[in-house]
């Protein structure tokens, strides 16, 4: 088994900073990059992003949907991108948002979290709509193999607000209950490092509205999309997450990718500097 996910993530934070670069080859970006909207195009796009990230940041997050829309050829392209990223020593989070029960959801864990799988990554995103216990098999596999899981808790899309802020009989919001459940299941690494199981918290949400606070995330990694194109500014990181800011993976996609191939490396460098300055 590899080192615990939280230990590896903490090491990357210390070595390369907390930026997570999204790999989102949607049709508009492919066109602006002069690439075809095909499996070959998404492969080229993904490999170019990986190449630009190497030596600049430590984490990438491919959005799997943009690959799988090209069918089996798209998955083959994704396998090449994942292999290149992991071979370069980058930590790879598959944004798959899988969620189900029993052997069905466990099969997703087998695909993404099993060492040697052609789709092997370091962590995956997951949905616990059927209850956090439905992900026990996924969490078990992650902890067994030194992998990570990020469970959606408070997301940026406005349609989620009513459900995620709904109050349960125990007085907790749904988002707060999920976060507390993750904390209870979290596999801790070495002292001073993060656990293996984290949450997805949109950077555009106000934590108090969801019954959350910085103390909710003690020892827990946070994947925070929403910086850049969706409206949150990196300069707001500590304002948004308080003392938990040191746990946050600052996820940025379109604000980096939209600059085009020629300026991609410079955009990554700029985002890395912004995150470091905010946490200094």
Measured CA distances, 271 to 32, 80, 151, 161, 229 (Å): 21, 26, 25, 28, 13
Judged against a pLDDT cut of 80, whether residue 264 lies above it is answered with yes
Confidence of residue 226 (pLDDT cuts 50, 70, 90): confident
pTM of the entire predicted model: 0.95
Higher pLDDT, 232 or 144: 144
pLDDT for res 229: 66
CATH of the domain at 69: 3.20.20.70
Q: Cα(280)–Cα(270) distance, rounded to whole angstroms? A: 15
Side-chain half-sphere exposure of 162, counting CA atoms within 13 A: 1
Domain hosting 223: range is: 5-279
pLDDT for 2-51, tens place per residue?
789 999 999 999 999 999 999 999 999 999 999 999 999 999 999 999 99
Task: Just list the catalytic residues.
Answer: 97
Q: Where is average pLDDT lowest: 71-75, 151-155, 276-280? A: 276-280
Q: Cα(25)–Cα(6) distance, rounded to whole angstroms? A: 28
pLDDT for 130-175, tens place per residue?
999 999 999 999 999 999 999 999 998 889 999 999 999 999 999 9
DSSP SS3 for 268? helix
pLDDT for res 239: 92
To the nearest whole percent, how much of the chain has pLDDT over 70? 97
pLDDT for res 77: 98
What contacts 38, CB < 8 A, 6 or more positions away?
70, 73
Tally of structural domains, the chain: 1
pLDDT for 29-38, tens place per residue?
999 999 999 9
């Amino acid at each position: 088994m590899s080192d615990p996910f939280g230990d590896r993530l903490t090491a990357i934070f210390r070595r390369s900073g907390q930026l997570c670069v999204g790999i989102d080859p949607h049709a508009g970006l492919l066109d602006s990059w002069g690439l075809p909207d095909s499996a070959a195009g998404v492969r080229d796009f993904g490999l170019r992003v990986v190449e630009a990230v190497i030596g600049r940041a430590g984490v990438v997050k491919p959005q799997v949907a943009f690959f799988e829309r090209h069918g089996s050829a798209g998955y083959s392209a994704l396998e090449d991108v994942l292999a290149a990223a992991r071979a370069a020593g980058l930590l790879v989070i598959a944004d798959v948002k899988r969620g189900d029960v029993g052997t069905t959801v466990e099969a997703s864990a087998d695909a993404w979290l099993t060492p040697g799988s052609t789709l092997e990554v370091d962590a995956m995103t997951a949905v616990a709509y059927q209850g956090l216990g439905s992900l026990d098999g996924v969490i078990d596999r992650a902890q067994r193999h030194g992998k990570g899981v990020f469970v959606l808790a408070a997301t940026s899309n406005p349609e989620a607000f009513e459900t995620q802020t709904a109050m349960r009989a125990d007085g907790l919001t749904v988002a707060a209950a999920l976060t507390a459940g993750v904390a209870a299941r979290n596999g801790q690494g070495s002292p001073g490092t993060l656990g293996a199981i984290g949450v997805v918290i949109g950077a555009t949400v106000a934590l108090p509205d969801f019954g959350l606070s910085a103390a909710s995330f003690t020892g827990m990694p946070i994947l925070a999309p929403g910086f850049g194109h969706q409206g949150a500014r990196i300069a707001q990181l500590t304002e948004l997450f308080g003392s938990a800011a040191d746990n946050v993976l600052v996820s940025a996609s379109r604000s980096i990718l939209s600059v085009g191939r020629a300026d991609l490396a410079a955009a990554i460098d700029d985002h890395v500097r912004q995150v470091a300055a905010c946490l200094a």
